[in-house]
A and B are shown apart, each in its own frame.
Chain A
Amino acid sequence: MGSNKIYFYPIWLRIWHGFNAIGIIVLIITGISMQASIESSLIAFNTAVNLHNVAGIIVSLSYLVFFFGNLFTKNGRYYLIKISGFLKRPVKQAYYYAWGMFHGMSAPYPLSEKRKFNPLQKYFYVIVMYMAVPLVIVSGIALFFPELIIEKVFAFSGISITAVVHSAMGFFISIFLVIHLYVASIGKSPAENFKSIISGWHHV
């Protein structure tokens, strides 16, 4: 069992993940730079705008790979959330991270061919990939073509709401990324998971 290897990350998924990771990092850096618009920042404002646009297009296109890949291959089933234990399962996993793993408890949801993500991880991935990223893409496209936006939504201006949604979701994804990177380092060894997302093979 010790050196059992599972092919967790098919090639299309790794390609998506690579483009997505680089793209989102560029988006975060240029996004913060534009938002803060630090006068003498490393990136000139219009360079930041251009980079942000290009990276946004790359992330949007690669999102299509992710979306249809999971729609048409069996990788998609890892994202299905079970109704039973909807709350109990992630809480159990959180308990393991916060307490159990330091007290000799073994992982409550060990990974296998059937289960690539533990429940907490699954929830996070679903929220990020099926809510935050799509929202950021849609609002980003709207800001790219502002003439598409409805001028007034009740008393609020459409463009401002769009902008706030865009920034809020961007912020959420940034926070996700930090947690994602840290949690990915919890494995057999800290580098283990990172090797897997590049090679495709996961040691269970």
Chain B
Amino acid sequence: MKLHSSDNSKTLKMNHRFIGVLLILWIGVWSLKAQSYENASQHQCLKCHSKNSYTYMNTVKGKEEHRLMNPYFVLDTVAMASGVHKQFDCTDCHSSEYASYPHNGNLKLEPMNSCLDCHGGDESFASYHFERVEEEFKKSVHYKAYGDNFSCSKCHSQHTYMATARNSSSVKDIVDYSNKMCLSCHSDMKKYQLVSGHENPQLVKVHDWLPNQELHFQHVRCIECHTEVTDSLMVSHNILAKEQALKNCVECHSADSKLKASLYKYQNLQKRSEDGGLLSVLSNESYIIGTHQSPLLQLASIIIFLAVVAGIVIHSMFRIFKK
């Protein structure tokens, strides 16, 4: 009996604790809401990190001061709110010490999690094959040249990354999203030099053998020509040396275009490029010379051509023998 009552009081205590935890959680959620990226001016970090200037309290002079923000530290809150990590708040990844300003200088030394630190070995992300991606990435020119200094984040901002290729149904959007990653560095001298310490080659000049360059860069991804397609991965990550880049037009401009195994393999796009009916040809956003051969039209044109030739042959027979 005694035992029983103490048991009871124990559960009661547990319940109290449980409610306490719930309360803390609820307050947590509530304060998270107040911290939402959408309401930037209220957010403890974004009130500075989403604007071109910021205000802080100079405790030495005892007055507020205004300063310009480093443009590279201004975050795109719209993109963040739709990125894959929108659930996170800043301090889930960054130290909570950042809440105070001036930031503690030692925070610079804080190691950040890499994609693999969180996603490696996690079953719920298996379809993304993070480990295989890393393996491929480690064979790429970038990793070979710069090792761990070239992290996944050089291409994928943890703030804003979206799995566009997987989710978008517009080739143009997929291409645009993907190419901006490469161009953010390859056509930005500062960022390029940050990594390499030398000047970046002029992309337009490097690719001047390609006609309609602008059109191509809008309709194919850089990785189409600069990686080898691996069937098991959605996006090949092994950027090859320039000598191995694709230069042969027919690889894309042909009935069994390479693009079918890469850019067009995403299921949401596949439906359209698979059946070659006239309607599907007409509704495609891109027209790639050589690829959209509608079997029906092809058959029709061959039949018409043969009929004309047959007519001519018969007619000339008559002309020869009937005269």
Interface residues of A (CB under 8 A from B): 34-37, 39, 44-46, 49-50, 97, 101-102, 146, 155-157, 159-164, 167, 171, 174-175, 178-179, 182, 186
Inter-chain contact A186/B319, CB cutoff 8 Å: yes
Check A34–B289 contact: CB distance below 8 A.
Answer: yes
Complex alpha-carbon distance, A174 and B255, angstroms: 22
B293 to chain A, nearest CB (A): 7
* Contact call B250/A39, Cβ cutoff below 8 A: yes
Q: CA–CA, A202 to B11, complex, Å?
A: 115
Residue in contact with B290 in the complex, picked from A35, A155, A174, CB distance below 8 Å: A35
Q: Is the CB of A160 within 8 A of B281?
A: yes
Counting CB contacts under 8 A, is B197 at the interface? Answer: no
Are the C-beta atoms of A157 and B285 separated by less than 8 Å?
A: yes
Stretch in B65-73, B227-235, B301-309 touching the partner: B301-309
The total of chain B residues at the interface (CB under 8 A) is: 34
A93 smallest CB distance to B (angstroms): 14
Contacts of B292 in A (CB 8 A): 160, 163
A35 to B281, CA, bound (A): 14
In the bound assembly, the distance between CA atoms of A46 and B54 in angstroms comes to 54
Q: Which of these, B249, B290, B297, B319, contacts A46 with CB under 8 Å? A: B249
CB atoms of B285 and A146 under 8 A apart: no
Is A160 in contact with B308, judged by CB distance below 8 angstroms?
A: no
Task: Establish whether residues A160 and B312, one from each chain, have CB atoms under 8 Å apart when the complex forms.
Answer: no
Inter-chain contact A157/B304, CB cutoff 8 Å: no
Chain A residues, CB < 8 A from B286: 157, 159
In the complex, the chain B residue whose C-beta lies closest to that of A161 is B282
B58 within 8 Å of A (CB atoms): no
With A44-B249, A102-B322, A156-B283 known, 9 other A-B pairs at CB within 8 A are A37-B289, A49-B211, A156-B282, A159-B285, A164-B282, A171-B301, A174-B305, A175-B304, A182-B312
- From residue A37, how far is it (CB to closest CB) to chain B in Å? 4
Contacts of B290 in A (CB 8 A): 34-37, 45
CB of B215 within 8 A of chain A?
Answer: yes
Q: Closest Cβ of chain A: how far from B219's Cβ, in Å? A: 10
Q: Is the CB of A182 within 8 A of B287?
A: no
Report if A37-B254 is in contact (Cβ < 8 Å); known contacts: A157-B282, A160-B281.
Answer: yes
- B253 located at the interface, meaning its Cβ lies under 8 Å from any Cβ of chain A in the complex: yes
| Inter-chain contact B250/A160, CB cutoff 8 Å | no
- A50 / chain B contacts, CB cutoff of 8 Å: 211
Shortest Cβ distance from B1 into chain A, in angstroms?
A: 79
Instruction: Tell me if B244 counts as interface (CB < 8 A to partner A).
Output: no
- Residues 268-304 of B, flagged 1 when their CB comes within 8 A of A and 0 if not, give 0000000000100111111101101100010001001
